[in-house]
Amino acid sequence: MSDDKIQMVDLTVQYHRLKDEIDRAIQSVTESGAFINGPQVGEFAAHLSAYLGARHVIPCANGTDALQIAMMRLNLRKGDEVIIPAFTYAAAAEAAILLGLTPVAADVDSRTFNLSADAVSEALSERTKAIVAVHLFGQSCDMHPLMETARRHSLYVIEDNAQSLGSVYTFPDGSMKKAGTMGHVGTLSFFPTKILGCYGDGGALTTGDETLAGQLRMSTVHGQSSKYHHRIIGCNSRLDTLQAALLDVKLRHVDAFIAARRRVASIYDRELGGIGGLTIPCRHPSSTHVYHQYTLQVEDGRRDSLLIWLRNAGIPSAVYYPLVMDEQPAFSPHLRTAGDLPEARRLTKSVISLPIHTEMTPSQISRITQRIVSFFK
Ligand SMILES: *Cc1c(COP(=O)(O)O)cnc(C)c1O
C-alpha cells in the first residue's frame, strides 16, 4: 500500500509487518486439521485472560453473539428492561429484542460519548434488570458510579467491550481494572477493525463468576454439558481455531498497537485542539483511551461539509453513529426511550471520526490535520 493512500483502517500493511509470525500460526492450524476447538482456542483464551485480568474468557463467534449469550444467561424474563446507551452500535438493542427483552435507550455524556450513571438513574423502572455499559470509541465508561447504581437497584451489568480492549479504569480508591472486567459479564468482538482484530469474525465473553462462566461456555456449544448431552438452550457460537491462532499472535503486539494509536491521537490533539467550532475527544481522568476511534465534534451544522471537504482531498472519514436508537425503524417499535435524549441526538449530527490505525505515517497524519485546519480558517 502506498504511503499516499489514506484509509480509515489499514490491515494489509500491519499484516505484512507481522507476516512471518502470522503465517506460521495459520499454517500450524492448517497442517493440524483441528479447525474446530483446536488447542489454539484454549491457549488464546488463557493468554487473553491473563492480559485482561479476567478470571474466565469464553471465546465465541462474534461480539453480537457474545451480547446475546450474556443476556440469555442472566435470569432475564420476557419484558424485562435492559438499559442501553441511545448513541452506540446496534448490537445490544438487537440482542435484547431478539430475546423478548425491552431495550431502554438512555442518554450519554457528550464529552465521553458513554452512558452516565445519571442517565441510567433516570431510565430506571420496576422492570429494569440490567445495564449494557458500552465502552465506546476506546474509553471505559465511568464504572464506579454505574456499579453503585447497579448495586443499589440489583441490576446486572454487561460491559460491551468491543471497542475498548486494553483500556484501564481507575476507581476512586485508586484500584485499577481493565475494561470488561468490572461488571458481571464483559463482551468482546475481534472484528477485523477492532483493537484486537482477526481475519473474519470472532468474539469472547469475560466474567469473574465461575458458575456463570460454565453456563456461558455451555451456551456457545448448544448448551451441552458433554457431547450430545444438552443441559440448557444454547446456540452454536465458536471461535475458529484459525482465528484463535492469529489472535494469539496479535495479542502479543496489542500494547504496541494501542501505543501506535495513541501516538496518532496525540498528534491529532496537538494540531486540532483549540480550533473554534471543533471539539477533540476528551481524555477522561478515570480511564485510559485506546482510540478505537478518534471522534471529533463539529458545531454549527458544519459536520457534513467537513466530511465532503475531506473526501474531496482523498481523505476518508466516517460518522459513527448517524442515528439514535429510536430512529432505527427495526428497533423503535420495541424500544423505550428515557427522556428526549438531547445529547445523543446532538452527537449524531456533530460527530466525525478520522482515520486511525496502527500503520499511519506522519505524512498521512499531517495531510489530514492540514486539511481540517484549512476548513476552519
Ligand atoms: C463491533 C461491535 C459489536 C459487535 O461485534 P461483532 O463481532 O461485529 O458482532 C458490538 N458492540 C459494539 C460497541 C461494537 O463496536
Is 184's pLDDT higher than 50? yes
Phi-psi region of 343 (alpha: psi -120 to 50; beta: other; left: phi over 0): alpha
What DSSP assignment string belongs to 131-187? EEEE-GGGB---HHHHHHHHHHTT-EEEEE-TT-TT-EEE-TTS-EEETTSSSSEEE
Whole-number percent of the chain with pLDDT over 90: 98
* Ligand 1 in reach of 84 Cβ (< 6 A): no
Q: Which residues pair with 160 in a beta bridge?
A: 134, 187
At 124, give phi and psi (nearest 5°): -65, 145
Q: How far, in Å, from the CA of 180 to the mean position of ligand 1?
A: 14
Which residue, judged by its Cα, is nearest atom 5 of ligand 1? 63
Rounded Cα–Cα distance for residues 362 and 334 (Å): 46
Q: How far, in Å, from the CA of 169 to the mean position of ligand 1?
A: 21
Quick one: pLDDT at residue 4?
Answer: 80
Quick one: pLDDT at residue 213?
Answer: 98
- What would the grid cell of residue 177 be? 481494572
Q: Which residues contact 307 (CB under 8 A, 6 or more apart)?
A: 317, 319, 352
Is 370's pLDDT higher than 50? yes
Domains along the sequence of the chain with CATH: 16-251 (3.40.640.10), 254-376 (3.90.1150.10)
Q: Which residues contact 319 (CB under 8 A, 6 or more apart)?
A: 303, 307, 348, 351, 352, 353
Residue 197's nearest CA partner among 27, 9, 7 is: 9
Q: Contact 319/297 with Cβ under 8 angstroms?
A: no
Whole-number percent of the chain with pLDDT over 70: 99
Rounded Cα–Cα distance for residues 354 and 9 (Å): 10
At 258, give phi and psi (nearest 5°): -65, -40
Helix H or strand E segment including 249: helix 241-251
Reported as a single tens digit per residue, the pLDDT across 130-140 is 999 999 999 99
Residues 187-200, mean pLDDT to the nearest whole number: 98
Question: Cα angle vertex 165, ends 159, 170, to 5°?
Answer: 70
Reported as a single tens digit per residue, the pLDDT across 250-287 is 999 999 999 999 999 999 999 999 999 999 999 999 99
Phi-psi region of 128 (alpha: psi -120 to 50; beta: other; left: phi over 0): beta
Quick one: pLDDT at residue 3?
Answer: 54
Reported as a single tens digit per residue, the pLDDT across 317-353 is 999 999 999 999 999 999 999 999 999 999 999 999 9
pLDDT band for 1, please (50, 70, 90 cuts).
very low
* CB atoms near residue 320 (< 10 Å): 19
* Ligand 1 in reach of 64 Cβ (< 6 A): yes
Q: How far, in Å, from the CA of 187 to the mean position of ligand 1?
A: 9
Report the mean per-residue pLDDT for the chain.
Answer: 97
Is 142's pLDDT higher than 50? yes
Q: Contact 245/26 with Cβ under 8 angstroms?
A: yes
Is 215's pLDDT higher than 60? yes
Q: How far, in Å, from the CA of 63 to the mean position of ligand 1?
A: 5
